[in-house]
Structure 1
Amino acid sequence: MYDFEPTLFYIIPIMIFINLNVLKSLQSRKYINNNSSDKENNYETTTPLPDLSF
C-alpha cells in the first residue's frame, strides 16, 4: 500500500492537466467555428487536435 500512494500523487495532477487541456481545446474549437471569418484563428483549424478518446 505504501508503493501505491506515491503513484496517485503523479496520476491525479496528470489527469487534471489532461482534462483542462481537453476543455480548453473544445472551447477553442467552438470559438473558431463561430468566428471562422477571423484571420487570427484560422491557423488553429489546420492543426489537428490530439485524439484523447478513451
Structure 2
Amino acid sequence: AFSVSGIPIDRDAFVFEADMNYAVNSSFTVGLSYAGQFGERATDNAFRGNVNLRF
C-alpha cells in the first residue's frame, strides 16, 4: 500500500492522524483511522476502515 499527498490545503495548517487496530484473534484484525488538516481557509477530513484476515 502507499499514500500520495497533494499540495497543502493552506499555508499554515495543523495536521492530525490517528490509527486504531484491534486483533480479534491471531488471524482476524479490524481497524479505523482518521486524518485531518485544519487551516484558516479550508479543512480536510478522511476516515478509513479496514479488515484483515490471515490464513
TM-score (norm 2): 0.20
Larger strand share, 1 or 2: 2
Higher relative contact order (CA 8 A, sep 6+): 2
Larger radius of gyration: 1
Larger helix share, 1 or 2: 1
